[in-house]
A and B are shown apart, each in its own frame.
Chain A
Amino acid sequence: MADGILNLARAVSAAALATEGVYSLGTGRYAEAATYEGSEKVSGVVVTPDEVEIHIVASYPLARPIPELAQQIRERVAAEAGERRTSVVVEDIEVTREDL
């Protein structure tokens, strides 16, 4: 079950990072956002029995409004998250290299 949670966190992390407009995954602002098991952790995704929380850093300029980006992430991770409630937390907006 625990290994399942880590695998789930990894799958969600990969799906979120593959979404256009996501620069990287966040690490949490007030507490580390990660899923732990043993000596391993997956940063940026917090998986609990009821919820999947995805912390992202969005790319600037924004390709679309943040709620749309969050909705797209939710759709991408829906298969992995299953019945769990999915939350998206935008921690920061990062200027992409080509825009510097």
Chain B
Amino acid sequence: MRIFNRIVVVLLLAGLAVLGVYMVVYSFEAFGRQLSDLSTALQGLTSGVEGFASDVENGSLPILTIALLVAIALLGLVLLIMELKPPSPRRVRMQRGTYIAPDVVRGEVESAAEETPNVLGSTTKVGAKRRPGALVNLQADVRRGEDTNAIKSELRERVQQHLARTGVPLGRLKLKLVEADPRQTKSRVQ
């Protein structure tokens, strides 16, 4: 279920739960509440809504309320756009009629990364898009004090070459080097 649907369902269920609690409280006359008081409570609610509506008509809403309404409208717009956006494909498109699972691409990227000198370990996320090419986010662990620019450049070249040999088109490669303790990385150093 996508986020927009989740929010709608969560709000609906929360509303139903609150109404259910009210029903139980008023039905069993718990906490001194009686069913006859309900009409008074509802009248209070409707008068509050009417007051809000008249404030809107008169243009006399407090700044904070206007800001809150604008924020809710923007949030709704963002969620609507996210909902209308088509989901990203599950497989990486290589060329017309050929696809590859993101896990396979991840394995290939990590094997290329971990063959790179001074890279102690790596974590990769692979995404797919509608056009051919994989979206790769690679985080590599290196020792403290290493020349990160040189490692980054070598790493990029190796990953690109390895994927080219395999035939996997690369849509985007994001590299991040993280200084790590060699005793705690995948390639352990005693």
Query: B2 within 8 Å of A by Cβ?
Result: no
Query: B98 within 8 Å of A by Cβ?
Result: yes
Q: From known contacts A90-B99, A92-B103, infer whether A29 and B167 are also in contact, taking CB-CB under 8 Å.
A: no
Q: From known contacts A30-B90, A92-B104, infer whether A87 and B97 are also in contact, taking CB-CB under 8 Å.
A: yes
How many residues belonging to A are interface residues under a CB distance threshold of 8 Å? 18
Q: From known contacts A65-B165, A65-B167, infer whether A91 and B94 are also in contact, taking CB-CB under 8 Å.
A: no
Query: B16 within 8 Å of A by Cβ?
Result: no
Query: B91 within 8 Å of A by Cβ?
Result: yes
Chain A residues numbered 25-63 whose CB sits less than 8 Å from any CB in chain B:
29-30, 62
- Does A86 lie within 8 Å of B104, measured CB to CB? no
Chain A residues positioned under 8 Å from B94 (CB to CB): 66-67, 70
Q: From known contacts A30-B90, A89-B91, infer whether A66 and B101 are also in contact, taking CB-CB under 8 Å.
A: no
A74 to B45 Cα, complex, angstroms = 68
Please pick, from B90, B97, B166, the residue contacting A66 in the complex, using a CB distance under 8 A. B166
- Does A88 lie within 8 Å of B97, measured CB to CB? yes
Nearest-neighbour CB distance to chain A for B154, whole angstroms, equals 22
Chain B residues positioned under 8 Å from A74 (CB to CB): 97
A88 to B108 Cα, complex, angstroms = 19
Please pick, from A29, A30, A88, A91, the residue contacting B98 in the complex, using a CB distance under 8 A. A88
A88 to B107 Cα, complex, angstroms = 19
Query: A5 within 8 Å of B by Cβ?
Result: no
- Does A89 lie within 8 Å of B100, measured CB to CB? yes
Query: B54 within 8 Å of A by Cβ?
Result: no
Query: B95 within 8 Å of A by Cβ?
Result: yes
Chain B residues positioned under 8 Å from A65 (CB to CB): 165-167
Chain B interface residues (CB < 8 Å from chain A): 90-91, 94-95, 97-101, 103-104, 107-108, 165-168
Chain A interface residues (CB < 8 Å from chain B): 29-30, 62, 65-68, 70, 74, 85-93
